[in-house]
Amino acid sequence: MLSKKVLKDIQSLSAKKQRREQGLFLAEGPKIAAELVALMPARVVGIYATQPWIDRNGNLPSSVQSVVEPVTETELQRISQLQTPNEVVLVARQQEAAEPVAGPGITLYLDTIQDPGNFGTIVRIADWFGVRDIVCSGGCADLYNPKVVQSTMGSIARVNVWYDEEETWLDRQRVPVLAAALDGVPLSAVGRPERAILLIGNEGKGLRPGLLARAASTLTIPRVGDAESLNAAVATGIILSHLT
């Protein structure tokens, strides 16, 4: 049975301030728990799981096995951030991101991507297309927001996500800057760059004018139907599919 203190500590990680102060985050569900245990076992500090999950996972690394604690369905409901809890809640240490240097391949720069689901999906898409670094402007969602973590589906452990709080990172780069925009050059007319920074704008407002002005080229996904715009994560996936 979980103590009141443990319950309170886990529940507190729903708040950004507490996550930052403790340097911890939550991940939920068998799939993402398995990914994180495999990719970063040394950063796992607690696993709170129902007995069926524990029975199926008897071959965990010893360091992880030692922090597994059984919980009842009721306790899982109390510590879960999901509407429908799914067997296991994992607590892990956050990883300090490294400031990237744009080099070979594509580096993503996200401008005020605020929706946690979009943000996490973009991290997952970047992982799919081999993008190793994402730079985020001020105002982007918190990487360790539980909804972001869930949307990454484990890619959070493979992609370096760094926050450009002072928004000076682009000044230090020496590679072409491309921007996704509604009035850009059609993707079909663009080749595959050896190296580039791709700017992706806010879900509703797009890229801020100051950032858009930094781009050597603007790219667009040609519209055939009548939709006003594309979801930021969907657009990112389509553009990366072409550029990579």
Segment 103-134, tens digit of pLDDT: 999 999 999 999 999 999 999 999 999 999 99
Indicate the domain borders of the chain.
4-93, 105-243
Task: Identify whether the C-beta of residue 220 lies closer than 8 Å to the C-beta of residue 202.
Answer: no
Give the per-residue pLDDT at 1.
Answer: 80
Burial class for 199, CB neighbours closer than 10 Å (0-12, 13-18, 19+):
buried
pTM: 0.94
The answer to whether the Cα torsion of 90, 96, 97, 98 is positive or negative is negative
- CATH architecture type of domain 4-93: 2-Layer Sandwich (3.30)
- List the beta bridge partners of residue 141: none
Q: Which CATH number fits domain 105-243: 3.40.50.300, 3.20.20.70, 3.40.50.2000, 3.40.1280.10?
A: 3.40.1280.10
Token output for 213: 């002005």
Q: What does the DSSP 8-state code read for residue 225? A: S
CB atoms < 10 A from the CB of 47, how many? 26
Task: Identify whether the C-beta of residue 196 lies closer than 8 Å to the C-beta of residue 177.
Answer: yes
The answer to whether the Cα torsion of 125, 41, 34, 90 is positive or negative is negative
- The tens digit of pLDDT for each residue in 34-47 reads 999 999 999 999 99
The region of weakest confidence among 26-30, 64-68, 227-231 is 227-231
